[in-house]
Structure 1
Amino acid sequence: MEKEKVPQDKSNLTKNNVKELLYATDENGNYTTTLSTGWEPKTIALSNSIDEINERISDAKQQVQSGEVSPICYYMELNKMDLTILASYVGMWKWRVKRHFKPNVFNKLNNRILQKYADAFEISIAELKNIKTE
C-alpha cells in the first residue's frame, strides 16, 4: 500500500489519540513506516471482539450470582484470561483450577489458595469472595 493511501478512519484507537504503526511504500517504491488512526474493517472487528468479551463477563457474573460457578470464573473473564493463563498465574494444574470453579469447592478453599487467585486478579480476598452486583 502506498504511504498516501494508508487509511485514517476513525476507530477505537482515535479515542485515546493512539496511532498504529504500519508499513507502506513511499514514492520510490521503498518500504517505510507510517502512522494510521485505523481503518473501518479493523474497527468493526475490534468492536465485535469487545462486545463479545463484555457479554462473556456479564454471563459469568450472572452464573456467579445464581450459584452455578465460583467468582473465579467471573474474575478470569474480567481479566481476559483463559484457564491455561490463570493456571499458570496461580501455579496450579488446569484441572485443579477448573475444580475451583465449583461453588462448593471454592467455599472450602483456604486463604493461602484464595490469596493466589486474589494476587493473579490484583484484588483482595474479600473482593474475590464478593463480586459487585452493580
Structure 2
Amino acid sequence: MKKEEIPQDESNLSKSNVKELCYATDENGNYTTGLSTGWEAKTIALESSINTINERIEEAKENIKSGKASPIVYFMELHRMDWPTLADYVGLWQWRVKRHVKPSVFKKLNNKILQKYADAFQISVDELINYKGA
C-alpha cells in the first residue's frame, strides 16, 4: 500500500492515542514506514477475539461455581494460556495439568505443585485455592 493509503479508521488504538507502525511505499516506490490509528477489518477481528476470550473466562467462572472445574481453568483463561503453554510454565505433562482441573484432584495437590501454578499466574497460593468464581 502507498503511504497516503495507510488506514486511519476508528479503533481501540485511536481511543488511547496509540498508533501502529505500518510499512508502505512512498511516491518513489521505496519502502518506508507510516503510522496508523487502526483499520476496520483489524478492529473487528480483535474485538471478536476479545469477546471470545471474555466468554471463555465467564464460562470458567461458572464451571468453578458449579463444582465442575478447579480455579486453574479460570486463571488459565484469564492469562490467555492454552494447555501446552500452561504445562510448559508449570513444568508438568499436559495430561497432568488437565487432571488438576478436576476439583477432587485439585484439592489433593501439594504446596509445591500449587506454588508452580501460583507462580505461572503471578498470584499467591491462597488466591489460587480460595478462588470460588466470584
Normalising by the smaller structure, the TM-score range is over 0.9
Matched residue of 1:13: which SS? helix
TM-fit CA distance, 1:133: 4.6
Task: Give the alignment's TM-score, normalised by structure 2.
Answer: 0.96
Distance (Å, rounded) in 2 between the aligned partners of 1:3 and 1:102 = 54
Distance (Å, rounded) in 2 between the aligned partners of 1:61 and 1:18 = 32
Instruction: Name the residue aligned to 2:90.
Output: 90
Instruction: Name the residue aligned to 1:105.
Output: 105
User: What percentage of aligned pairs have identical amino acids?
Assistant: 69
TM-fit CA distance, 1:18: 1.7
Matched residue of 2:8: which SS? coil
Instruction: Name the residue aligned to 2:28.
Output: 28
1:1-134 aligned at under 5 Å gives the runs 1-131=1-131, 133-134=133-134
TM-fit CA distance, 1:31: 1.1
TM-fit CA distance, 1:126: 1.0
Q: Is the 8 A contact 2:22 2:36 kept in 1?
A: yes
1:51-99 residue CA offsets vs partner (Å, 9 max, x unmatched): 0000000000100110001100110000000000000000001011011
What is the aligned-residue RMSD (CA, Å)? 1.1
Q: Which runs of 5+ in 2 are unaligned?
A: none
Higher RCO, 1 vs 2 (CA within 8 Å, ≥6 residues apart): 2
Q: Is the 8 A contact 2:25 2:31 kept in 1?
A: yes
Give the length in aligned residue pairs: 134
Matched residue of 1:35: which SS? strand
Distance (Å, rounded) in 2 between the aligned partners of 1:104 and 1:122 = 23
1:101-125 residue CA offsets vs partner (Å, 9 max, x unmatched): 1000000001111000000000011
TM-fit CA distance, 1:132: 5.8
